[in-house]
Each structure stands twice: as C-alpha cells, then as structure tokens.
C-alpha cells in the first residue's frame, strides 16, 4: 500500500471532476506509464487479470471449438478464460526444472484444430519463449502468455510482455504491483488496442454507435490512481522482497528433501514467490508441512493444487491426460510467505519449522505471535 496521505491526496480531484471511470485521465496516464515501465509496444488496462486474459483470447476471434494448448499448473483463471471463449483446452505437461510448460511436448499435441498456445510464466519462472515462438511460427499459431507472475521482469533486456502476440498481467491486491483489482494486456500489433477497447467497453465507439458485442471490463479511476501511487514504490517493494527471497534461498537450498526451482540466467527477477518442492527424503509430506505451518499460524499455500485440469468443475474430463510431472509437482509445491515488509523474526520462525521438519517451536514467555500471511495468487 502507498502512504495513506499520498493516496488520499491523489484521489481528491475526483470529488471535483466526478469522473470516476470510463477511461479518465488517470486511466490514460497509468496506461502510458506502464507501457514504458514494462517496455512493451502497446498496452490496454482492464478491471482485473482474468478479464484481461479472457478478452485477449477473444480478440483473436478463434472459431468456436478450436483447440488451445496450455498448462494445467496455473491458477484456474487461465483455464476458465479458454473455456469461456468456447475453446477446448489441451493440457501439456510441465518441466521438472521450473514448473513451466514443457515446450518439447507441445508439437505432439498440435492438430488441425489447434489455433493458439497459452503458456504461463510460473512464480516468475519464464517459459522457453524462443522455442515456443518457433513452434508457433511453424504451425501458424498465436501465442498468448499468462504473465500474471512476471510483472516487471525482463529477458535478455526485453520486457517480458513484448514476447508472443500478447501477454496478460494481473494487478490483484496480492501481486508485486497492484491497482487493488486490475489487469492489462500487452501486445505487439497496434490493431489489437482497438479490438480490446471495443471488447471491454460494450462495443461502444461513440454516443450513438455500437459496432460490436462487448463486456464491461474497464479499469476505474480509483484503481488507476492506486496503480500510479504504487508504481512509484515498485523498486522499493521488489528490493524488500529480494532480501527475504535471498534469505530463504541461503537457508533452505541445502536442506535435504527440499528442492528449489531453477531460475533463468538471462532474466531479471521480481521476487514475487518463493516455492519449495517437498520431496520424499524430506521425511514428511508437503501436506504435513503445510499443516505444521498452519498450526503455527503461518499461511503457506499449496500453489497450485489440484491442477486446473483435475478440478471438480471439469468432472474428470481430463483425468487420462498425460500430466505425470504436473500432477507430481502439484502434490509437492508449497509457496512460502513472501512480501516486502516480512519481518526477519517471522521469516526465521518459518525457516526453523522447515529445518526441524516437525513444525513445533516454542515461544518464550508465552508470547502470542501474529500470523504470517502467504504471498499472493
């Protein structure tokens, strides 16, 4: 959160103008500043990350029933955005090394009905974008990245949102950068801006002209101002997270039975998440560790479990999909609390629990500890 006085002062003009939504001046300002910050050719703001992805997919006007290759190791929004566009998700397994889609398995899943690939940058671990683009170019497919975990990251000096045909960001309150609720689509083709504008604003092009069928997915001015305030502190926020991230890494990378994902050498890091994989030799299961932490009022997350393909809403439709790695990783992954003002004392408590494998530490003098919250969605 930015300083309260700063945000209160920033929203004061809204009481004079009464312009609270519908692409006001703050919406336009944030759009331009984020375009520069993210180093992307074009950007369109939305009410949240999910609508950003759903309407980004819709903007490409794929035929109903077409197939989209994607990953099941993601937040349910990714899969819902495909299904709600009347498209068929085709789930690809993931890599042991970083949890991202296994690009070596994509080509085998392509059929005459495939129109796009929707990969996900998981925990800020980046997909193999060159390999994915090579496949997409060969088969004439669109590539739409779910970059909700990769805000502010760069790969080989390029903004992460400049890869593929589009990249979608989430500005939910739990993210590294937030607008309370919000999202954006970054894109390379300037024609996509008008399509996205039409889709997020009822298809309206003027007071008496509606040229298409659209939704209401605009970002309001309060959210835009929150984004403008938070953008001033984004490097401070990342620096605070970096200290906690590196302390976790230093203390946990050599703990037997805990495995850390590999990070891309040519990419920056936004320090959004710190996941660990609880292997068999650790001595207790991921779920037991999660329970031990919860007993101590520490809220880690089984992130992502179950896989989106295995959620109840799909009624076992994808139970025979070849997703061995994804299913195994989903049963082992645990994201630890990580945020910019995570106290060293709290982090040491978490590390102690992970090191002793039992999760029971004693609090001197009967002191009641405050809960430690998880990192975001």
Statement to judge: residues 23 and 90 lie in one domain: yes
Residue 203 DSSP symbol = T
Domain shared by 14 and 114, yes or no: yes
CATH number for the domain spanning 29: value is 3.40.640.10
Instruction: Give the 3-state secondary structure of 78-94.
Output: HHHHHHCCCCEEEECCE
Residues 8 and 92 in one domain: yes
Q: How confident is the model at residue 348 (pLDDT cuts 50, 70, 90)?
A: very high
Domain co-membership, 264 together with 328: yes
Report yes or no on 151 lying in a domain.
yes
Residues 270 and 226 reside in one and the same domain: no
Domains of the chain: total: 2
pLDDT confidence band for 367 (50 / 70 / 90):
very low
- Return d(Cα 179, Cα 9) in angstroms, integer: 16
Task: Report pLDDT digits (tens) over 38-56.
Answer: 999 999 999 999 999 999 9
343 CB-near residues (< 8 Å, 6+ apart) = none
Strands 114-118 and 88-91: unpaired
Q: Of the residues 215, 231, 247, which one is the last residue of a structural domain?
A: 231
Q: What is the CATH number of the domain that holds 269?
A: 3.90.1150.10
247 with 105, same domain: the answer is: no
Distances (CA, A) of 322 to 79, 94, 345, 366: 17, 10, 43, 51
Q: Are residues 193 and 286 in the same domain?
A: no
Domain membership flag for residue 144: yes
Residues 6+ apart with CB under 8 A from 44: 31, 184, 185, 187, 192, 193, 196, 197, 200
pTM of the model: 0.93
> Both 188 and 60 in a single domain?
yes
* Structural domain boundaries, residue 270: 235-366
d(CA 86, CA 82): 7
* 373: in domain: no
Judge whether 377 lies within some domain.
no
Asked whether residue 372 is assigned to any structural domain, the reply reads no
**pLDDT tens digits along 110-140:** 999 999 999 999 999 999 999 999 999 999 9
Does some domain include residue 307?
A: yes
Q: How far apart are CA 349 and CA 165, in angstroms?
A: 44
- The answer as to whether 298 is a domain residue is yes
Distance in angstroms (rounded) separating the CA atoms of residues 237 and 96: 29
Beta bridge partners of 236: none
Strand intervals (E) in the chain: 42-46, 67-70, 88-91, 114-118, 142-146, 154-155, 158-159, 166-170, 183-187, 204-206, 209-210, 258-259, 275-278, 333-335
pLDDT band at 373 (very low <50, low <70, confident <90, very high): low
> Quick one: 219 and 265 in the same domain?
no
Please give the pLDDT value at position 77: 98
Q: Does residue 278 share a domain with residue 177?
A: no
Confidence band (pLDDT; 50, 70, 90) for 141?
A: very high
Residues 246 and 127 grouped into a single domain: no
pLDDT beyond 80 at 372: no
Q: Are 119 and 141 in contact (CB under 8 A)?
A: no
């Amino acid at each position: 959160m930015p300083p309260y006085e700063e945000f209160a002062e920033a929203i004061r003009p809204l009481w004079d103008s009464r312009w609270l939504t519908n692409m006001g001046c703050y919406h336009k300002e944030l759009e331009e500043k984020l375009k520069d910050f993210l180093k992307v050719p074009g950007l369109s703001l939305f009410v949240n990350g999910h609508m950003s992805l759903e309407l980004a997919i819709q903007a490409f006007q794929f035929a109903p029933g077409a197939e989209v290759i994607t990953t099941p190791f993601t937040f349910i929004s990714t899969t819902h955005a495909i299904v709600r566009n009347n498209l068929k998700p085709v789930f690809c397994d993931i890599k042991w090394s970083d949890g991202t889609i296994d690009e070596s398995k994509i080509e085998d899943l392509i059929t005459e009905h495939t129109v796009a690939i929707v990969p996900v940058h998981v925990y800020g671990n980046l997909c193999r974008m060159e390999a994915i683009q090579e496949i997409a170019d060969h088969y004439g497919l669109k590539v739409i990245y779910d970059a909700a975990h990769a805000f502010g990251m760069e790969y080989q000096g390029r903004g992460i949102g400049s890869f593929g045909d589009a990249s979608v960001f989430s500005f939910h309150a739990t993210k590294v950068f937030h607008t309370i609720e919000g999202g954006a689509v970054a894109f390379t083709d300037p024609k996509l801006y008008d399509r996205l504008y039409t889709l997020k604003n009822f298809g309206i092009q003027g007071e008496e002209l509606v040229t298409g069928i659209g939704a209401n997915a605009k970002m309001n001015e309060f959210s835009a101002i929150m984004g403008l305030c938070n953008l001033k502190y984004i490097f401070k926020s990342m620096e605070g997270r970096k200290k906690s991230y590196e302390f976790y890494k230093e203390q946990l990378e050599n703990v037997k039975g805990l495995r850390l994902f590999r990070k891309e050498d040519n990419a920056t890091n936004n320090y959004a998440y710190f996941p660990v994989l609880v292997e068999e030799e650790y001595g207790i299961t991921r779920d037991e560790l999660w329970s031990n932490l919860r007993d101590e009022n520490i809220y880690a997350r089984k992130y992502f479990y179950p896989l989106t393909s295995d959620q109840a809403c799909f009624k076992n439709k994808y139970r025979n999909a070849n997703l061995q790695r994804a299913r195994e990783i989903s049963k082992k992954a645990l994201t630890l609390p990580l945020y910019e003002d995570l106290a060293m004392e709290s982090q040491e408590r978490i590390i102690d629990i992970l090191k002793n494998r039992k999760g029971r530490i004693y609090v001197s003098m009967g002191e009641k500890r405050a809960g430690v919250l998880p990192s975001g969605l």
